[in-house]
Amino acid sequence: MIESADLVMAALAAGAAAGVSETATTAVKDSYSGLKSLAGKVLRRHQPDSDQATVEGQLADPETHRHELLAALTEAGVATHPELLNAARQVLGLVDPTGTAMGKYDVTVTNCTGVQVGGHNNMTIHVPK
């Protein structure tokens, strides 16, 4: 299964991209809004000293703040928040129904090193001699 934090990040990015289009349905916009709200609650609960405006800003532009959000979501243990994961799956199902039906977001990788999942990735691996 795709890592929980990566699943939430994929849904945040997809929702943000779809939400700004004029063709986005009310269901997409509502699901994305709910996802951002749940993600914000999880992050603020885990980091009570964090600035609410900063968290909201990061969630509003997940691609720009990808590294910070991914680290914060991982640290917050999003795998223990099924409501957040379900909200992420719902957004992805609405934004990319074909990819969701084909299992695009269901990836299992075990006992591997140097693996990337997804499109448009770049990786440099330095192997010791």
Q: Which of 30-34, 70-74, 88-92, 114-118 has the lowest mean pLDDT?
A: 114-118
As a 3-state breakdown, the chain gives helix, strand, coil percent values, each rounded to 5, of 60, 0, 40
pLDDT of residue 106: 63
pLDDT of residue 1: 40
CB 56 within 8 A of CB 72: no
Express each pLDDT in 93-118 by its tens digit. Answer: 988 877 777 766 666 666 666 666 66
pTM: 0.72
d(CA 104, CA 96): 9
CB 92 within 8 A of CB 105: yes
Q: Which residue has the higher pLDDT, 11 or 100?
A: 11
Residue 75's contacts (CB-CB under 8 Å, 6 or more residues apart) are 46
Q: Does position 92 have pLDDT exceeding 50, yes or no?
A: yes
How many C-beta atoms lie closer than 10 Å to residue 33's C-beta?
A: 14
d(CA 38, CA 33): 9
Q: Residue 48 CA to chain centroid, in angstroms?
A: 21
**Range of 12-16, 36-40, 74-78, 94-98 with top mean pLDDT:** 36-40
Structure tokens at 96: 């990319």
d(CA 100, CA 89): 8
Element spanning 28, H or E: helix 26-46
Q: Which residue has the higher pLDDT, 78 or 118?
A: 78
